[in-house]
Amino acid sequence: MANGVTLRASVPDDLQFVVADDALDFVAALHWAFDGRRRELLAAREEKAARIAAGEALGFLDETRDVREGDWQVAAAPADLNDRRVEITGPCDRKMVINALNSGAKVFMADLEDASSPTWHNVVDGQRNLYDAVRRTIRFQNPDGREYRLNDETATLLVRPRGWHLPERHVEVTSDHVDGEPISGSLWDFGLYFFHNAHELLKRGSGPYFYLPKLESHLEARLWNDVFAFAQERLGVPHGSIRATVLIETIHAAFEMEEILYELRDHAAGHNAGRWDYIFSAIKTFRDRSDALLPDRIQVSMTVPFMRAYSQLLVRICHKRGAHAIGGMAAFIPSRRDPEVNETALAKVHEDKEREAGDGFDGTWVAHPGLVPVAKEEFDKVLGDRPNQKERQREDVQVAGPELIDFTVPGGTITEAGLRTNVSVALQYIDSWLGGTGAAAINNLMEDAATAEISRAQLWQWIWHGAVTAEGEAVDRDTYMSIRADELAKLGGPGERRLGDAATILDELVLADDFVPFLTLPAYGYLD
């Protein structure tokens, strides 16, 4: 125990430096300074959800009109974050970190959140891998003897800590007034990475850069900004060294994009259009509204009205304030076995990235190194030698508010195939997550927690509203249980891997009377 921090799991000798006493002192200081506000903001989320369920409308805030109408800019981008035309994402396992940094992308977002299963090993070993990557000492050797190491030129490293809602149950904090409460996963992830690497990154000409997930309000961004200011002052790091890109992946945040940039303005690097979580947020927020019933997930593209309005508004707001606008994920995984699947999928990736570059985005996300050249080609066509296109102000984009909640999907249908896909993907992803892998290759797509959330949320909503498939079948509990049994059997049954636990968790999520906010909360109890 150091300053009231107790580790509820063992740490191997080679990882002890990650949880050294001075590092634990630092994360304890973050906890005592900010965890009370974090809990208040989480309570505010629940209160707002209840008001929306009772009929309150979402809209731009009257009380922050002066921010939206004011004349201000975010801090200028550091040199190694000025050109972000292709960003690759993935978990923090050792081989992935090396391959991503070597991928040819401009940025690697090392993910401690949706693409990471928060086993204790992953949480602590991920910090070690990032520590070694910053110092360029990271190595990995395959069983066949092949060795991986960093190239001379690598991507700029950004880290995504867990969201405000997630605890780290292996770490408890105790005081005279508090008896062993779990520390916030967000403060733990941020605190360890910043403590170990901030000075080293600055010495090497970079800085401590982050992606911030799941924000629902500018007040949550204000909390992060205060955390940044506190951390920099405590460790003697110059103010403004931290830069944060916010994932606009909740429908609440879409109405406060400008205010979020304002709160972070000394530390802001831009916004990212987190498309999968955004769809999940729309379902979750308006789950009780029959007019917000979305069709099969595959039909909810970036060109449907509410997604188109949100993404274009993001570009306008970011460029108005001098920030980067980063596009969404291309989740396709190239296959060596099926050239026809590759050709079709790559054509769609080209189309998606061409649209983003044409809309004014400064960069985009991919999930696989094989897609880096595809995305780069489309952004090179528009950017040329320019590092970004912030000069494109997109004043032609006019979004008054209703466009962001226009959930019509022209020609959209709910199908049996869509039902089966949702069940199968959710089962496979939860099984993978329980096994310690948070980024799972399923049907040539890289699935993470966000896409699994869409799958289980749609199942809940379709059952709740008594949806009927295009084939004429009512979507009810019996239909779900029958399809779930079929899909489970196809995957090998409950005795295979952890599919039995995955089925239990999915049943609890889909058949619950009350919507469970995040699948990772009940599933966390099943992890080692």
Residues labelled as active-site residues: 160, 448
* Burial group, residue 174, by CB count within 10 angstroms (0-12, 13-18, 19+): middle
- The Cα 438–Cα 449 span in angstroms is 7
Q: Which amino acid is at 305?
A: P
In sequence order, the 6+-apart residues with CB closer than 8 A to the CB of 143 are none
CB of 341 closer than 8 Å to CB of 335: yes
**Cβ–Cβ contacts within 10 Å for residue 395, how many?**
9
End-to-end CA distance of the chain: 21
Distances (CA, A) of 348 to 301, 351, 379, 411, 439: 11, 5, 15, 19, 21
CA-based nearest residue to 327, from 350, 351, 303, 359:
359
Buried b (16+ CB within 10 A) or exposed e, 469-496: beeeeebeeebbeebbeebbeebeeeee
- The Cα 359–Cα 394 span in angstroms is 8
- The Cα 286–Cα 263 span in angstroms is 27
Q: Which amino acid is at 76?
A: A
- The Cα 66–Cα 58 span in angstroms is 19
Helix 372-383, helix 339-359: angle, nearest 10: 30
* CA quadruple 144, 88, 119, 455: dihedral, nearest 10: -120
Report residue 291: phi and psi, to 5°: -80, 0
CA-based nearest residue to 256, from 310, 211, 300, 308:
310
**Cβ–Cβ contacts within 10 Å for residue 82, how many?**
17
Strands 440-442 and 445-447: antiparallel
CA-based nearest residue to 429, from 331, 294, 327, 304:
331
CB of 200 closer than 8 Å to CB of 123: no
Tokens of 313: 């508004």
Tokens of 8: 């509820």
Q: Which amino acid is at 339?
A: P
Residues 159, 163, 166, CA angle at the centre, nearest 5°? 125
Q: Which amino acid is at 304?
A: V
Q: Write down how long the chain is.
A: 528
Q: Cα 371 vs. chain centroid, distance in angstroms?
A: 19
Tokens of 462: 């379709």
